[in-house]
Amino acid sequence: MIPAGGEKSSIIRMFHVHLNYGPKKALIDITLDIAKNQFVFISGPSGAGKTTLLKLFYYGEPVSEGQVLIDGINLNRIPRKRIPYLRRKFGIIFQDYKLIPSKTVYENVALVLEAAGKKPRLIQKKVKSVLRLVDMEDRLKSFPPSLSGGEQQRIAVARAIVGDPKIILADEPTGSLDDDSADTVLELLRGVHIRGATVIIATHDKTLIRKTGGHVLYLKQGRLETSTFIEKKYDNTIF
Amino acid sequence: MITLYFKRAIDDIFKNRFLNLVTVITISLSILIASSFILFFVNAGAVINSWKKGLRIMAYLEPTISKTGLEELKHAILSIDGVQRLQYIPKQEALRRLKAQMKHQASLFENLTDNPLPDSFEIRMTAIADSWQKIESVAARIESLPWVDEVEYGQRWFARFAYITTLFRLASYAMGILFFMAIVFIVANTIRLVIYSRREEVEIMRLVGATDNFIKIPFYIEGLIQGALGAILGLGVLFSSFVFITSNMDQGVLPDLFHLQFLSTAIVTGIIISSMLVGWLGCYISLKQFLNA
Ligand SMILES: Nc1ncnc2c1ncn2[C@@H]1O[C@H](COP(=O)(O)OP(=O)(O)O)[C@@H](O)[C@H]1O
Ligand SMILES: [Mg+2]
């Protein structure tokens, strides 16, 4: 089934994965291996397939061909009922945030823990502390549409990290933000990385990669062109 | 966990106030119509029963009957299946009764020299033998006995009334099924609209790891609440109308000592529970379409 070797430290593996949207080949023959606690960038021009690749990780889309292994689970064989549990391994920061407009900031973040069946008291504690972390504790009762883009982004980050997921996926997390907001978000992602999570960021923004360093998977027209490594340098002044 | 689901369901109802209100009102109208029928049958049944209780067969005897003939006939009638007891009414007694009944027309009896009335037996039926056919067959057997001149029992309109209520009952079963389906359809449609208006939210819940049950249970609770509220509202309106009508109605059209009654607690509970079941079913149908796609 899967070749052995390095399996212990792998959290995401793909073997010859293809994804077609009808006649459109969005991803072509992708093979990759992401280790636990890596800080990975998926880079490439717009339309290269970055968002699509993230979708395959959390079974947002089934592959057309090939194998995806997440934390030892073969997604080709995952029963429908197990999908929610697969998704709880991930904290996802969507490009369009995907906050629920009719729920308050607090409810949006709490939803993750409620869905995971956590105890109300723990939920309250966790949600408050994570909202403090993203500096949104005073907007608990606000509704997302009343927040700025940067604030919504921070709520999205809070929701992604509140369940202490093994893997954080972030799709263009700094795309529509000013530099300060972008730095804040990046800072938060580094924080969860230090605490042990695997962080995967899809971005077309090269300066972001240079600022942070990490593994870089470069996609172009649906193909994985190069896989390079930039030394992790958390000290921005070096660049 | 349950309280969380309830809280979410109630939040949802308030956030979709209008849609929920429309559903509850529609359910309550259906319940109102359906339970009016039930109310009619409960009371019609009670009226029929009270009439049946007073039902008797009169056997008029030939004037030439002898004392022994009378005894034999009495035993012969009592041995017929379905006959409970009988009372001999001599013609003098019959005349006395008639005069008492018609005391305002006493002049009619003034010129009466002879008693024109025959002797008779008044025969009561057992409670089990209360079907119309049974009474007819018993009456026919009595009529065939010697010394019996003529029998008289009930009235034709009573049979017709009983027949019509049977027809009504059948029609109401059919209507009950129709209403049931209508409510299921209405609830299914509202929940469908609610889910449709919130498909983005449902999608987000799934993306953050919510199970189907986590998403569905509040909808089911909503369906149950809608069913209950609709039933309570419909029955409330029925009860108010009932109180209004009975307090303004002339008791005269009904048999003596008979009072119109509202639905029993058991029937009311039954209606509420069925309505809730229907709410649940409506939910089930539209969730099946939406979430298992
Ligand atoms: N749902 C979809 N249906 C059809 N084509 C799609 C869909 N999603 C993405 N694509 C196409 O797949 C390619 C890759 O898209 P995407 O993964 O969004 O790229 P990126 O995130 O790198 O900008 C694009 O050509 C895009 O038009
Ligand atoms: Mg994209």
CATH number at residue B142: 3.30.70.3040
- Does residue B133 share a domain with residue B46? no
pLDDT value for A73? 94
List the residue whose alpha carbon is closest to atom 12 of ligand 1.
Answer: A26
Tell me what the mean pLDDT of segment B33-38 comes to.
Answer: 85
pLDDT tens for residues A39-53?
999 999 999 999 999
Q: Tell me how far the alpha carbon of residue A26 lies from the centroid of ligand 1, in angstroms.
A: 6
Query: For residue A150, what is the DSSP state?
Result: H
Query: What's the CA gap between B180 and A53, in Å, rounded?
Result: 49
Query: For residue A103, what is the DSSP state?
Result: S
C-beta atoms of A87 and B15 within 8 A: no
Tell me what the mean pLDDT of segment B198-204 comes to.
Answer: 88
- Does residue B223 share a domain with residue B275? yes
Query: What's the CA gap between B145 and B292, in Å, rounded?
Result: 74
Please give the tally of structural domains in chain B: 2
Is the per-residue pLDDT at B248 higher than 90?
no
Please say which residue of B93, B128, B152 terminates a domain: B152
Mutation to test the A interface, candidates B208, B211, B216, most A Cβ within 10 Å: B208
- Does residue B191 share a domain with residue B145? no
pLDDT tens for residues A108-141?
999 999 999 999 999 999 999 999 999 999 999 9
pLDDT value for B258? 60
Query: For residue A44, what is the DSSP state?
Result: -
The residue ranges of every structural domain in chain A are 99-164
Between CA B47 and CA B56, with CA B52 as vertex, the angle to 5 degrees is 145
- Does residue B64 share a domain with residue B27? no
- Token readout for B248 is 């303004």
Is the per-residue pLDDT at B180 higher than 80?
no
CA dihedral A157, A161, A167, A168 (to 10 degrees): 10
The strand pairing partners of B150, in sequence order, are: B60
Q: How far is A56 from chain B (nearest CA, A)?
A: 13
pLDDT tens for residues B57-106?
888 888 888 888 888 888 888 888 878 888 888 888 888 888 777 777 77
pLDDT value for B77? 85
- Contacts of residue B8, defined as CB under 8 A and 6 or more positions apart, other chains included, come to B218
pLDDT value for B283? 85
For residue A109, what is the nearest residue in chain B, using CA coordinates? B208
CA-based R_g, chain B, Å: 31
Q: How far is B23 from chain A (nearest CA, A)?
A: 21
The better pLDDT of the pair A64, B260 is held by A64
pLDDT value for A132? 95
SS (H, E, C) chain B: CHHHHHHHHHHHHHHCHHHHHHHHHHHHHHHHHHHHHHHHHHHHHHHHHHHHHCCEEEEEECCCCCHHHHHHHHHHHHCCCCEEEEEEECHHHHHHHHHHHCHHHCHHHHCCCCCCCCCEEEEEECCCCCCHHHHHHHHHHHHHCCCEEEEEECCHHHHHHHHHHHHHHHHHHHHHHHHHHHHHHHHHHHHHHHHHHCHHHHHHHHHCCCCHHHHHHHHHHHHHHHHHHHHHHHHHHHHHHHHHHHHCCCHHHCCCCCCCCCCCHHHHHHHHHHHHHHHHHHHHHHHHHHHCC
What type of residue sits at position B79?
S
Average pLDDT, chain B: 81
- Does residue B163 share a domain with residue B142? no
Whether B282 contacts B187, CB under 8 Å:
yes
C-beta atoms of A84 and B206 within 8 A: yes
pLDDT value for A238? 42
- Does residue B28 share a domain with residue B65? no
- Does residue B201 share a domain with residue B84? no
- Does residue B64 share a domain with residue B25? no
The better pLDDT of the pair A219, B169 is held by A219
The strand pairing partners of A33, in sequence order, are: A13
The better pLDDT of the pair B247, A77 is held by A77
- Does residue B278 share a domain with residue B162? yes
Q: In which domain, by residue range, is B111 found?
A: 56-152
Decide the pairing of beta strands A167-171 and A90-93: parallel
pLDDT tens for residues A155-185?
999 999 999 999 999 999 887 777 777 888 8
pLDDT value for B184? 79
Tell me what the mean pLDDT of segment B217-223 comes to.
Answer: 89
Mutation to test the B interface, candidates A56, A94, A98, most B Cβ within 10 Å: A98
Residue A46 near ligand 1, beta carbon < 6 Å: yes
The better pLDDT of the pair A147, B127 is held by A147
Other C-beta atoms lying within 10 Å of the C-beta of residue B76: 15
- The band of B160, judged by pLDDT with boundaries at 50, 70 and 90, is low
Cα–Cα separations (whole angstroms), residue A65 to A23, B5, B234, B274: 14, 39, 57, 49
Q: Label residue A28 left, alpha or beta by phi (over 0 means left) and psi (-120 to 50 means alpha).
A: beta
For residue B204, what is the nearest residue in chain A, using CA coordinates? A98
List the residue whose alpha carbon is closest to atom 1 of ligand 1.
Answer: A21
Tell me what the mean pLDDT of segment B266-277 comes to.
Answer: 91
Tell me what the mean pLDDT of segment B13-24 comes to.
Answer: 84
pLDDT value for A6? 44
Q: How far is B192 from chain A (nearest CA, A)?
A: 18
- Contacts of residue B84, defined as CB under 8 A and 6 or more positions apart, other chains included, come to B124, B125, B126
Please say which residue of B152, B170, B185 terminates a domain: B152
Query: What's the CA gap between A149 and A152, in Å, rounded?
Result: 5
Question: Measuring CA to CA, which residue among A110, A129, A130 is closest to residue A120?
Answer: A110
pLDDT value for A7? 46
- Does residue B86 share a domain with residue B40? no
Query: What's the CA gap between A107 and A118, in Å, rounded?
Result: 14
Crossing angle of helices B212-247 and B17-53, in 10° steps, is 50
Q: Tell me how far the alpha carbon of residue A22 lies from the centroid of ligand 2, in angstroms.
A: 18
pLDDT value for B107? 73
Q: What is the ipTM of this complex?
A: 0.89
Model pTM score: 0.74
- Does residue B228 share a domain with residue B133? no
Question: Measuring CA to CA, which residue among B86, B74, B83 is closest to residue B147?
Answer: B74
Tell me what the mean pLDDT of segment A22-26 comes to.
Answer: 94
Cα–Cα separations (whole angstroms), residue A153 to A88, A178, A185, B186: 20, 12, 8, 40
pLDDT tens for residues A51-108?
999 999 999 999 999 999 999 999 999 999 999 999 999 999 999 999 999 899 999 9
What type of residue sits at position A167?
I
Query: What's the CA gap between B26 and B20, in Å, rounded?
Result: 10
Question: Measuring CA to CA, which residue among B274, B285, B280 is closest to residue B225?
Answer: B280
pLDDT tens for residues A173-218?
887 777 777 888 888 999 999 999 999 999 988 888 888 888 999 9
Between CA A175 and CA A183, with CA A181 as vertex, the angle to 5 degrees is 90
Is the per-residue pLDDT at B206 higher than 90?
yes
- Does residue B179 share a domain with residue B116? no
Mean pLDDT lowest among A187-196, B160-169, B215-224, B236-245: B160-169
